[in-house]
C-alpha cells in the first residue's frame, strides 16, 4: 500500500521541489497539496494522509496553529513542520504543538525523506540542531529547552490565535468574520478579548506581537552584501 503524504506550503515552487524529492521514493505518493493552513486542515480531514508536511510561515493559518488544530481533531495525525528558522522559541512551539518532525527548509533536500521514514516507523525526526537542544533541555531540567524562557504570557485560545493572525495580516473584522464563518460582532468580541489579554492598544501592537510570537512571518528586504573581494575572472 502506498504511503500518502499531504504537503502544505504557500509557495508553489517549493511544493514542486518537495514533490520531486518525495516522489523519487517508490511507494510514496503526494496525495494533496495545500497553499495555506486552512486548506491543509480541510484536505487532511478529507484525505486522511499518513504524513502531513506543513510549512510554518503560511497565510491565513500558520503551520504551528494548523498542527494544533489537526491534532485536536485527530491525535493520530503524523506531522512534520518545515521552517526557515531554527530559533529556540519556534522549536519549542513546534514541540509543544505536537509536531513529530522538525526540518529546516534549507536542509529539506537532505532531511525530509529521512523525516518521513522516521514518522512512518513511529519514530520522531528533528534536524540535528534541534536534537542538541532537546537533549540539553532534558539534561538541564527535564523540560526547559532554552535558557531564554519568555515571560509567561496569557494564553490565547486556538480561535483567538487564528483571529490574531488574520488581523495582523491586515484583514478587517468583517473580512475575518467572512473567512471564519462568524458574525462581525463575534470577531470584534474576540478582538477586544485578545487586546485585553495581551495588554495591547492598537493593531500596530498586535502586528508586532504576531511577528514576535511567530504567528506571522515578515519578508525582509535583502541585506547589503559585505563580501567585497569577489570579482569576476
Return the C-alpha torsion angle 165, 104, 16, 78, nearest 10: -70
Restricting to residues 82-111, which ones interact with other proteins according to CB under 8 A?
105-106, 108-110
Give me the least distance between CB of 144 and other proteins, in Å please.
31
**For residue 223, how many other CB atoms are within 10 A of its CB?**
6
Restricting to residues 33-52, which ones interact with other proteins according to CB under 8 A?
none
Give me the least distance between CB of 65 and other proteins, in Å please.
22
Residue 144 binding other proteins, by CB under 8 A: no
Residue 218 binding other proteins, by CB under 8 A: no
**Would strands 79-83 and 3-8 be described as parallel, antiparallel, or unpaired?**
unpaired
Q: Which of residues 38 and 105 has its CB atom nearest to other proteins in the complex?
A: 105
Which one of 5, 6, 8, 18 is in contact with other proteins (CB under 8 A)? 18
Residue 19 binding other proteins, by CB under 8 A: yes
Is residue 23 a contact partner of residue 30, using CB atoms and an 8 Å limit?
Answer: yes
Cα–Cα distance, 52 to 197 (Å, whole number): 32
Which one of 2, 20, 73, 205 is in contact with other proteins (CB under 8 A)? 20
Is residue 84 a contact partner of residue 220, using CB atoms and an 8 Å limit?
Answer: no
Q: Helix and strand tally (H, E) in the chain?
A: 10, 6
Q: Which of residues 15 and 161 has its CB atom nearest to other proteins in the complex?
A: 15
* Three-state DSSP string of 126-156: ECHHHHHHHHHHHHHHCCCCCCCCCCCCCCC
Residue 129 binding other proteins, by CB under 8 A: no
Q: Which of residues 19 and 124 has its CB atom nearest to other proteins in the complex?
A: 19
Q: What share of the chain is helix, strand, coil (3-state, %, to 5)?
A: 50, 10, 35
Cα–Cα distance, 179 to 190 (Å, whole number): 14
Give me the least distance between CB of 16 and other proteins, in Å please.
4
Which one of 1, 139, 218, 233 is in contact with other proteins (CB under 8 A)? 233
Is residue 101 a contact partner of residue 124, using CB atoms and an 8 Å limit?
Answer: yes
Restricting to residues 169-188, which ones interact with other proteins according to CB under 8 A?
none
Q: Which of residues 17 and 98 has its CB atom nearest to other proteins in the complex?
A: 17
Rg (CA), the chain: 19
Backbone region of residue 98 per phi and psi (left: phi > 0; alpha: psi in -120 to 50; beta: other values) = left
Residue 139 binding other proteins, by CB under 8 A: no
Residue 227 binding other proteins, by CB under 8 A: yes
Give me the least distance between CB of 95 and other proteins, in Å please.
23
> Residue numbers of the site for other proteins (CB under 8 A)?
10-21, 105-106, 108-110, 219-225, 227, 230-233
Amino acid at each position: 500500500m502506498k504511503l500518502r503524504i499531504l504537503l502544505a506550503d504557500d509557495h508553489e515552487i517549493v511544493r514542486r521541489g518537495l514533490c520531486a524529492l518525495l516522489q523519487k521514493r517508490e511507494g510514496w505518493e503526494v496525495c494533496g497539496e495545500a497553499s495555506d493552513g486552512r486548506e491543509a486542515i480541510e484536505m487532511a480531514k478529507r484525505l486522511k494522509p499518513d504524513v502531513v508536511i506543513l510549512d510554518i510561515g503560511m497565510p491565513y493559518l500558520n503551520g504551528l496553529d494548523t498542527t494544533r488544530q489537526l491534532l485536536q481533531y485527530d491525535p493520530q495525525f503524523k506531522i512534520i513542520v518545515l521552517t526557515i528558522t531554527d530559533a529556540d522559541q519556534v522549536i519549542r512551539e513546534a514541540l509543544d504543538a505536537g509536531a513529530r518532525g522538525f526540518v529546516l527548509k534549507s536542509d529539506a533536500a537532505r532531511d525530509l525523506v529521512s523525516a518521513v521514514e522516521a514518522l512512518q516507523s513511529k519514530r520522531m525526526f528533528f534536524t540535528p540542531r534541534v536534537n542538541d537542544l532537546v537533549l540539553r533541555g532534558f539534561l538541564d531540567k527535564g523540560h526547559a529547552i532554552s535558557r531564554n524562557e519568555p515571560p509567561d504570557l496569557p494564553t490565547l485560545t486556538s480561535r483567538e490565535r487564528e483571529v490574531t493572525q488574520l488581523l495582523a495580516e491586515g484583514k478587517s473584522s468583517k473580512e475575518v468574520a467572512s473567512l471564519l464563518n462568524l458574525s462581525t460582532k463575534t470577531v470584534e468580541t474576540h478582538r477586544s478579548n485578545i487586546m485585553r489579554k495581551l495588554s495591547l492598544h492598537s493593531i500596530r501592537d498586535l502586528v508586532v506581537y504576531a511577528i514576535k510570537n511567530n504567528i506571522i512571518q515578515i519578508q525582509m528586504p535583502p541585506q547589503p552584501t559585505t563580501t567585497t573581494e569577489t570579482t569576476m575572472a
